[in-house]
Amino acid sequence: MKNIVLFGPPGAGKGTQAEILKDKYDLVHISTGDVFRYNIKNETELGVLAKKYIDAGDLVPDEVTISMLQAEVNKNDGVAGFIFDGFPRTESQAEALDTFLAEKGERINGMVALEVPEDLLVERILERGKTSGRSDDTDESKIRNRFNEYNTKTAILKDFYEAQGNYFGVDGVGSIDDITNRLSEVFDKL
């Protein structure tokens, strides 16, 4: 199996690229955002809880996120692998994912990170907010809070995966095709 963590700050293009790459490499795309939106829309117990955090611009607690993602992986036995988009976001989530995959005889092949300047990301998210229906995409202060959360809690995952020799940074600025080509060069080696 090929298991990839597609990484980057909010608005970096992870979802767009994951949709393209899942088809190219026959992988299952597990988007934390999509899983959250499904649970929120259907007002599941986890969805109601997650919505409170998201509306405040905060990250959803690890226990909630991990439970949702494990259920998604377990729904897809016998696949070629996964693209994890938006997960893990903390070192404890990364450790939980490693443990969970190891129990299945699998591992993360690499963390591939889209690297984009923050000011460009704010512009992208505000533009996305016009059509996304996400309350946290329309308020610049909430967007900046998400970057603060990302920089203080999530960016440290670069060190976690770098220590394993599994971190690959990719320039996330340019056309969708250019970025896909850069990502594919890394995916082909994993």
Binding residues for AMP, as ranges, are 32, 37, 58-60, 86-89, 93, 134, 146
Catalytic residue among 2, 107, 124, 128: 128
Has 146 been annotated as catalytic? yes
**145 by DSSP, 3-state: which?**
helix
Q: Which of 2, 107, 134, 158 is catalytic?
A: 134
Which residue ranges make up the annotated binding site for ATP?
A: 11-16, 128, 174
Q: What angle do CA 55, 64, 76 make, to 5 degrees?
A: 115
C-alpha dihedral sign at 104, 107, 108, 109: negative
Does 89 qualify as catalytic in the annotation? yes
Structure-block tokens of residue 50: 């997650």
The answer for residues whose C-beta is within 8 angstroms of residue 6's C-beta and 6 or more apart is: 14, 17, 18, 21, 83, 84, 85, 112, 114
Tokens of 104: 């299945």
107 in catalytic set: no
In a 3-state reduction of DSSP, which class is residue 81?
A: strand
Q: Is residue 134 flagged as an active site residue?
A: yes
As annotated, the binding site includes 11-16, 32, 37, 58-60, 86-89, 93, 128, 134, 146, 174
Q: Are 17 and 84 in contact (CB under 8 A)?
A: no
Please give the positions annotated as active site. 14, 89, 128, 134, 146
